[in-house]
Structure 1
C-alpha cells in the first residue's frame, strides 16, 4: 500500500474520530453554553422528593419552598406517586430520590423490602381530624356496637392511614373480626369512592379523610364514631432522607430541612397566603380549604427537637417518635400484619436520624429565629364533673383489657393485674381527649350488696393505680361498681363454668361529651 493511500486512510479515520468526538461534545457544550449564558449558571443541582396529595405534605412542595431553594441554587422536583409506597422505597434505595414522605406505619411495613433505605429526619405532621370512621347512626353508634355486630360492612382504602386507623381500633378496642378481611371489608380506591359507597347504601360505615369526612357528616343520619382528632401518635407523617445523601452531602440535607422550617413559619405567619396557595394547588373552595387545614397539625422545629426526637427536651427526655414507632409495630403485630419486629436489629433508632433537627435547633436558637409556637398535643384540662354529668356522657368504646387479677375476694391488685393495667395505659396514650370510666363487675351469685361493694372497691383500686403510676388526670377518670347487675352476654356454646369465670372483671370505658 502506497504512502499516499495510507495517509488518505489515516485522514479519513482521524476525521471520523473528530466527528465522533464532536457529536459527543456538542450536546455537552450546548448545555454548558446555555447554563453559562443564563440564570441557570448559579444552579447547583436539583432535589427530588416523592409525595402524594395529603395536605400535610403541601409545605414541602409549596411555591414558597421552591422559591427559597431556587435562591440557594437548587431546583425542587416533586414527584406525586399517588402513595405508591413500594415504588417510593425503590426510588429512595436506588438514589433516584433524595427525600420521600411516609406515615410511620407505611414505612415500617414497606421499608423492609428495600432494607429501610431512608432515615426519618423530621416529623412533618399528625392527623388531627383528617381521618375518621363514620357510620349510619341507625346501624352503628359506637365501637362497642361494632364489636358486637360482625355484619357491619365498612368501606376503606387499603394501605392508607385510614386502614391503619382501622387496625388500631381493632387492637385497642378488641374487635377480633376486623383482623380478618372478610365480608365486612369493602375496599375503595380512595376516600371519595369510600364515601360514595356509604351514601349509596352499599356499606354501613366508612373510613374517610378530609374533605370527605366533613361531606359525610353533612348528610342526615351519618355520625362520626371516632376520628384522628381524638387520637395521638397514631397517624404520623415523617420525612425520609436517602442514607447515602445524608452521609455524603449533609449540608444539602440541612439546607432543604431549613428551607422547610422557614416555609412552615412563613405560612403560619401568613395564613391567608397559605389558603391562597392551597386553593390554587388543590382546587378546593374556601370552606373545603378550612376543613382540610383543621384536620392537620404541622409539627414545628421546637417540638421536633423537644418532644418527638428529644434532643432538646425540657426536663424528662421525650422520644415520642421512638414511642410511636414501637407502638405502631405493636399494633401491626397484634393485628397480624407482621409476626415480629421487622426493623434492622429490631432497633427503632436504626431508622431515625436526629442530627439535622438538633443542629438546626441550635442554629436557629443562636440566631434568635427559633419559632417557639408549639404544635404538639396540649394536655387537656379535665374539669371536675358531678355524677349526673358523668352519667350523661356517651360510651365511645371499651378498651381492650385482659382480665385484671385481684387477690381472691379482695381489692388487692396482683402483679399480673398491674401488668395488664400497664398495657392498657399504653393504649390510653393514643386517646388523650376522652374521659375514662373504670367499671367494676362481679358474678351474679352471692350477696348483692357485698358484690356491689366489692366491685366498687376494685374499680377504686384500678383508678388509684392509674392515677399514681401513670399520672392520669384526677378529674379525667371515675370509678363505678355495678356488682352483678350488668352481666356479660353468654356466648354461643359457652359452658356455665366458663361463663361465670368471665363475669368478675374490671373494664376501662372511654366516654365522650360530644358523641
Structure 2
C-alpha cells in the first residue's frame, strides 16, 4: 500500500474516532457547563452508592434532590445491584461520598477493607418485607424445621433475607439452615419462589412481593418474618472518611435534606406512593404493598433510640446492640472465626456527631418531627391469659438452649446461670411480638413428681430473674415445669453420660395467639 493511501486511511480512521469521541464527551461537557451556570450543585455534587430496596427510595427521590439543592448540592445515586464488595471499595477510594447498606452486609463485606467509613444515621428497618416460607405438608412450623434433616432451602446469597435465615439459625439453633448441601442459591426472591413452587425446595427465604404470592396459596406457610422482629435487618448510611474529614458540611447538608424529605413523605403518603410507583414503574397498589415492609427511622428516633445522644432520658443505644448482634450471628454461621467488629468495639463503626448536632438544633423545636411525626415502634401490649388460654397458644419455636446452671439439687441460679439467661434475652429482644414460655426439664432418673416440682421451681427462678433483670411484661411470660416428660432426642452414637447431661435444661419457647 502506497504511503499516501495509508495516510488517507489514517486520517479517515482518526476522523471517525474523533467524531465518536466528540459524541461521547461533548454531552458530558455540555452537562457540566449547564450545571456550572445553573442552580444545580453550586457546592458540588454528592455521589451515593445504592440498590433497588424501597427503603432507600427517599434518599434518592425527587423531593430529596429538591431539598439537597436548597443546601447547594446536586445528587447522583448509582444503583450497583447490591454489589456490596464493589460498593465499599468505591467508598474507600472516594468514588462514592456515601453508601447505603444493612448492618450485617457492612460487617460481612467491609471487614476486608478495614471499614472505610462510619455509620452516620440509621435509615430504616425491614418490617414484613422478608420471610421464611415453607411447604406446610413438609415443614409446618419453625420447631419442625429444627428437627428436619431432609429438606432443601432456596435463598438469595448475601441478601437481607439471607441474614434473616442466618439469624434464625443462630437464635433458634436450626442446624439444617447452616448445612450448605441443603442450600439452593437463587438469583433473587422470584427465583427462590419458583424453586418452592416447583417443589425443588421445601423452604424458601423470600421478600415482597413473593412473600404475599406464596402465602396466598394454601400449601405454603410463613415460619417467621421480619414483621415479628426488631433491630435485626437494619439499613444504614455510611460516609467516606474523606468526606468526614474534609467536607463535614456535605454530611450536615445531606442529613438535613434527608430528614426534611422523610417529613414531607410522612405528611404526604399519596405523593410517596405516586413517586415510588413512577420510580419502579409499578402499579400504585404494588407500591402500597412494598411500603408495608419498611419502617423509616426519624431524626429524633436516631438520636434517642439508636445513637443514645439524649442524656436526659434512658436510651438503649440500639445501633450498638444491632452491630454486636449481627457480629454474633455471622460468627455463629461460620462467616468469621471470631468477631468481625474491630477490637470488638462497635463504637469504632459509628459517628454520632452529626445526629447529635441535628438533635440539638431541631429535636427540641419540633423540626423534622411534627406535624407528621413518626409513629415509631409501638411496644406490644399483652393481656393477661388464663392457664387454658396459655395452653391454646401456637408454638413458634424454642430459642437456642444454653446450659443454665443451678446450685446442685436446688432451684438457686448461679452467676454463670444468670449470664446464660442474659445471652438468651439478647436473642429474645429481636422478637418482641411473641409471648414467652419458660420450660423447665429434668433428667429421667428419680421420682417423677419430684422431678416436676424441681423443674417448676427452676422455671420459676428463671422467670423471676428475667422479670427483675430485664423488665419483661408479666403478662407476656409464664413458667412451666415438665420434669422428664419431654426428653430430648438422643443423638446418633451419643453416650448415656453425654445424653443424661443434656436432659436437665431450661428452654425459652416463643408462642403466639392462634389467628
TM-score between both structures, scaled by the size of structure 1: 0.90
Which entry has the higher C-alpha Rg, 1 or 2? 1
TM-score between both structures, scaled by the size of structure 2: 0.90
In structure 2, what is the Cα distance between the partners aligned to 1:401 and 1:169? 13
Deviation digits for residues 125-156 of structure 1, max 9, x if unmatched? Answer: 01111111011111112222111112211110
| Aligned counterparts, 1:375-390, within 5 A | 375-390=375-390
RMSD, matched Cα: 2.2
Q: 1:18 — aligned with what?
A: none
Structure 1 residue 37: deviation in Å?
8.9
Q: 2:51 — aligned with what?
A: 52
Mark the CA change 1:211 to 1:31 in structure 2 (over 3 Å): closer, same or farther. closer
Which deviates further from its counterpart, 357-366 or 430-439? 357-366
Q: 1:325 aligns with which of 303, 323, 326?
A: 323
| Aligned counterparts, 1:84-233, within 5 A | 84-182=83-181, 184-233=182-231
Deviation digits for residues 477-508 of structure 1, max 9, x if unmatched? Answer: 11111122222222222233332332222111
Paired residues, what number?
489
Contact 2:40 2:74 in 1 (8 A): no
Q: 2:422 — aligned with what?
A: 422
Structure 1 residue 224: deviation in Å?
0.6
Q: 1:62 — aligned with what?
A: 61
Mark the CA change 1:31 to 1:149 in structure 2 (over 3 Å): closer, same or farther. closer
Deviation digits for residues 179-213 of structure 1, max 9, x if unmatched? Answer: 2312x100001111111111111101111111211
In structure 1, what is the Cα distance between the partners aligned to 2:499 and 2:150? 24
Q: Which runs of 5+ in 1 are unaligned?
A: 1-26
Q: 1:511 — aligned with what?
A: 511
Which deviates further from its counterpart, 264-273 or 213-222? 213-222
Structure 1 residue 40: deviation in Å?
5.2
Mark the CA change 1:33 to 1:490 in structure 2 (over 3 Å): closer, same or farther. closer
Deviation digits for residues 154-197 of structure 1, max 9, x if unmatched? Answer: 11000111111111111111123422312x10000111111111
Mark the CA change 1:313 to 1:282 in structure 2 (over 3 Å): closer, same or farther. farther
Q: 1:23 — aligned with what?
A: none
Mark the CA change 1:320 to 1:215 in structure 2 (over 3 Å): closer, same or farther. same
Q: 2:306 — aligned with what?
A: 308
Deviation digits for residues 13-52 of structure 1, max 9, x if unmatched? Answer: xxxxxxxxxxxxxx9xx86994499525873321110111
| Aligned counterparts, 1:440-451, within 5 A | 440-451=440-451
In structure 2, what is the Cα distance between the partners aligned to 1:87 and 1:344? 21
| Aligned counterparts, 1:364-383, within 5 A | 364-365=362-363, 368-371=366-369, 373-383=373-383
Structure 1 residue 375: deviation in Å?
5.0
Contact 1:401 1:421 in 2 (8 A): no
Q: 1:438 — aligned with what?
A: 438
What is the DSSP-based 3-state SS (H/G/I as helix, E as strand, rest coil) of the residue aligned with 1:124? Answer: strand
Contact 1:305 1:313 in 2 (8 A): no
Q: 2:477 — aligned with what?
A: 477
What is the DSSP-based 3-state SS (H/G/I as helix, E as strand, rest coil) of the residue aligned with 1:155? Answer: strand
Mark the CA change 1:417 to 1:345 in structure 2 (over 3 Å): closer, same or farther. closer
Structure 1 residue 385: deviation in Å?
0.6
Structure 1 residue 422: deviation in Å?
1.2
Contact 1:232 1:431 in 2 (8 A): yes
What is the DSSP-based 3-state SS (H/G/I as helix, E as strand, rest coil) of the residue aligned with 1:380? Answer: coil
Mark the CA change 1:485 to 1:270 in structure 2 (over 3 Å): closer, same or farther. same
Mark the CA change 1:467 to 1:37 in structure 2 (over 3 Å): closer, same or farther. closer
Deviation digits for residues 442-476 of structure 1, max 9, x if unmatched? Answer: 22332222122111111111111111111111111
Structure 1 residue 281: deviation in Å?
1.1
Q: 2:392 — aligned with what?
A: 392
In structure 1, what is the Cα distance between the partners aligned to 2:97 and 2:422? 41
Q: 2:493 — aligned with what?
A: 493
In structure 2, what is the Cα distance between the partners aligned to 1:289 and 1:41? 29
In structure 1, what is the Cα distance between the partners aligned to 2:49 and 2:247? 19
Q: Which runs of 5+ in 2 are unaligned?
A: 1-25
Q: 1:277 aligns with which of 275, 278, 288?
A: 275
Mark the CA change 1:314 to 1:498 in structure 2 (over 3 Å): closer, same or farther. same
Structure 1 residue 341: deviation in Å?
2.6
| Aligned counterparts, 1:2-41, within 5 A | 34-35=33-34, 38-39=37-38
What is the DSSP-based 3-state SS (H/G/I as helix, E as strand, rest coil) of the residue aligned with 1:445? Answer: coil
What is the DSSP-based 3-state SS (H/G/I as helix, E as strand, rest coil) of the residue aligned with 2:78? Answer: strand
Structure 1 residue 294: deviation in Å?
1.0
What is the DSSP-based 3-state SS (H/G/I as helix, E as strand, rest coil) of the residue aligned with 1:265? Answer: helix
